[in-house]
Amino acid sequence: MAIENKILKKVKSLKPIPSIIHKILAFADDPDSGLSDLVRVVEFDPAATANLLKTCNSAYMGLPVKIDSVQQAVTMLGTQKVVEMVMAQNLSSHLMRSQKGYRLAAGDLWKQSVASAMVARSLAERRDLLGLPAIYTAGLLKDIGKVVLHEYLETKWFSIEKFIAIKGNSFIDAEKEHLGIDHAALGGIIAKEWNFSDHMVYMISNHHLTDPSARNDPATATLYLSDMVAMIAGTCTGVDRLAYDVYEDIFEDFFLAKDELKALVLAYEGYLAGAKRLAEPN
Ligand SMILES: [Fe+2]
């Protein structure tokens, strides 16, 4: 069987994502839903509620009072924060494992995904973009294709390094050349398999802007920048660090002053430190 077919078959064997992810995105998309709907969605999921309250009461959060209910968590932290915590926790089992083919240790992909999702959300807020929970979720899931591809990359390292270093190709080109598919396109296939919206599939498939028209979609451009900020910071990123095409015009469009980019890299490092502490057992 051709390697690409093996990879596509593997997608079918991935465990489904928790249904609460879709329920929260539907809640966020519905102008008629309110805070009480979010509270109900989380409360109906005992595991999500337990995880949320555990995190709220962790030393890391440092809250002055004990949080006993989802309602209290939303009141104390705000809807957006609670949505992001629930999303990150419920996707953690898909992102926590080591991805040896990318030289990512256990936990690295999750931490990097959480921190760059925070950057994507803050960039999207700066641009007044709608659908922040979806952009945040796309930030978490943009590299989900690596979860499948990593095991096929390991044996091809010598050739991939040569392909990038000597021929000057990007990592996306290297994946396509050696495996028949890249992690962004595969991520889109996984998102489709998991019944995400067309726009979510598009954002994930194009987060490296391999399709030039994706540069015109502000949410996808935001995702691209959040990934690049993670690459520039360089912590918890894998062996593919910075081996991607850089579109300076998009940087210039978002960051009018150089200091803004520097500040965002520092913010990313802060988010990453937060994700590391969250990942540690209390
Ligand atoms: Fe990526």
The CATH number of whichever domain residue 88 belongs to comes to 1.10.3210.10
**Overall number of domains in the chain:** 1
For residue 225, the model assigns a pLDDT of: 93
Name the residue range of residue 20's domain: 2-279
Distance 243 CA to ligand 1 centre (A): 10
- Long-range contacts (CB closer than 8 Å, 24 or more residues apart) made by 122-131: 122/264, 122/267, 123/222, 123/225, 123/226, 123/254, 123/264, 124/218, 124/219, 124/222, 126/254, 127/218, 127/222, 127/254, 129/218, 129/219, 129/222, 131/28, 131/29, 131/199, 131/219
Coarse DSSP helix, strand, coil percentages of the chain, rounded to the nearest 5 percent: 70, 0, 30
Residue with tokens 């009461």: 57
How far apart are the CA of 113 and the centre of ligand 1, in A? 10
> 264 CA to middle of ligand 1, Å?
18
What is the pTM assigned to this prediction? 0.91
Other beta carbons within 10 angstroms of residue 277's beta carbon come to 14
**Is 203 in contact with 223 (CB distance < 8 Å)?**
yes
- pLDDT under 50 in the chain at which residues? none
Quote the ligand 1 centre to 184 CA distance (angstroms).
Answer: 6
What is the C-alpha separation between 56 and 72, in angstroms, rounded? 10
Q: Which two tokens stand for residue 204?
A: 């994930």
Determine the pLDDT at residue 91: 93
**123 CA from centroid of ligand 1 (Å):** 18
57: CA distance to ligand 1 center in Å?
Answer: 33
Q: Radius of gyration of the chain from Cα atoms? A: 19
Ligand 1 midpoint to CA 250 (Å): 17
Residue 158 is predicted with a pLDDT of 82
Q: How far apart are the CA of 183 and the centre of ligand 1, in A? A: 7
- Distance from Cα 20 to the centre of ligand 1, integer Å: 25
- C-alpha of residue 71 to centroid of ligand 1, in Å: 35
